[in-house]
Structure 1
Amino acid sequence: MEIPAINLKAIVLVHWLLTIWGCMFSWLPASYAWGNFSVLALAVWAIAQRDSIDAVLMFLIGMMVTVLTDIIHFGIYYPLAENLSERNRDTFRFSVGMAILSLLLKPISCFFVYQMYRERGGDYNVNFGFPGITRNRDAYQSIDQEDQSSSSANPFNQAEDCKPGQRSY
């Protein structure tokens, strides 16, 4: 089964709209809006530069980080709606519902953004630039042993059957 291609613009539009609606009632702190809108700015960068692997990777990492920060925001700042009027209670419920829907859609969006990352040439394993230590030394060539093919390719080596005064070119 092939994974359907979802446009990055559609993902950005959905999350932008849900973030706007989630911030409607002001029950979440400003850090929620700043975090989500800055990740959406990374998505605009990924849309503008269609060949950039870094833009998609930064957007993917930002989406994964906002999943964690959204959970923390909801856990800390979710107020009790008992002391709200009926009109404010409805607005609050809508705002909470849209923020939670955005949170629930983020892992699915991360999956599709990861597919875009792979399509643009990204690796399966994400390398953050830290040097790694490997024990595999099969690719190394020893400098102690001289290879026969390299000695015949070197024009300055004397051939074994030539006289000491003659050079073989």
Structure 2
Amino acid sequence: MEIPAINLKAIVLVHWLLTVWGSMAFLPRSYAWGNFSVLALGVWAIAHRDSIDAVVMFLMGTVGTILTDIVHIGIYYPTRDLVILDVLRFSAGMAILNLLLKPASCFFVYQMYKERGGDYNVNFGKWFPTVSRTRDDYQSIDQQDQESARPANPFNQAQDKPARAY
């Protein structure tokens, strides 16, 4: 099954809009600061299309804001016999929707990371996930092939054939 291509601009735009709406009423300033900082990393990843660092920083920041959003919404959600105003209800709904969309965004950003050349693979072992780098394609510097023992021919011409005269 083919994974649909989601544009990084669309991901950043949707999370920016939901963060703006989510921080309208009941959440503290730290919610807005954390999410807008991560969105700035997303803008950096958009601006530098070949940068692996920008995408991995945006990915790790998004994972971090998943945890902080759970804490912010859990602590600051109005619960006691308060009449929930429409603005509070809308703001809470947008913050929760933003939180629910972040794991899917992380998945798509991880796919972009792999497309840009990132090579970290997450291996979910029996108990804990481990991160490993595969180095199967690398050759050792210590070992020399028989082909490299011959002198290099910089013009890729055959040694036995004379050059053509024009």
Q: TM-score, normalised by structure 1?
A: 0.70
Relative to structure 1, is the Cα distance of residues 140 and 107 closer, same or farther in structure 2, using a 3 angstrom cutoff?
same
Question: Deviation string for 1:24-65 (max 9, x for gaps)?
Answer: 11x111110000000000000000000000000000000000
CA distance in 1, matches of 2:118, 2:94: 32
Contact in 2 for aligned 1:81/1:89 (Cα 8 Å): no
Alignment root-mean-square deviation, CA: 2.3
Contact in 2 for aligned 1:56/1:117 (Cα 8 Å): yes
Contact in 2 for aligned 1:39/1:59 (Cα 8 Å): yes
1:48 aligns with 2:47: yes
Residue correspondences, number = 130
Contact in 2 for aligned 1:53/1:121 (Cα 8 Å): yes
Match for residue 70 of structure 2? Answer: 71
More strand by share: 2
Matches within 5 A, 1:1-169: 1-25=1-25, 27-80=26-79, 82-84=81-83, 89-125=85-121
CA distance in 1, matches of 2:81, 2:43: 39
Q: Percent identity?
A: 74
CA distance in 1, matches of 2:82, 2:67: 29
Q: CA deviation at 1:80?
A: 2.3
CA distance in 1, matches of 2:56, 2:39: 13
CA distance in 2, matches of 1:39, 1:46: 11
Structure 2 unmatched ranges of 5 or more: 123-139, 151-166
CA distance in 1, matches of 2:70, 2:88: 17
CA distance in 1, matches of 2:97, 2:116: 28
CA distance in 1, matches of 2:11, 2:79: 31
Considering only CA atoms, is the larger Rg found in Structure 1 or Structure 2?
A: 1
Q: TM-score, normalised by structure 2?
A: 0.72
Q: CA deviation at 1:140?
A: 9.6
CA distance in 2, matches of 1:5, 1:118: 13
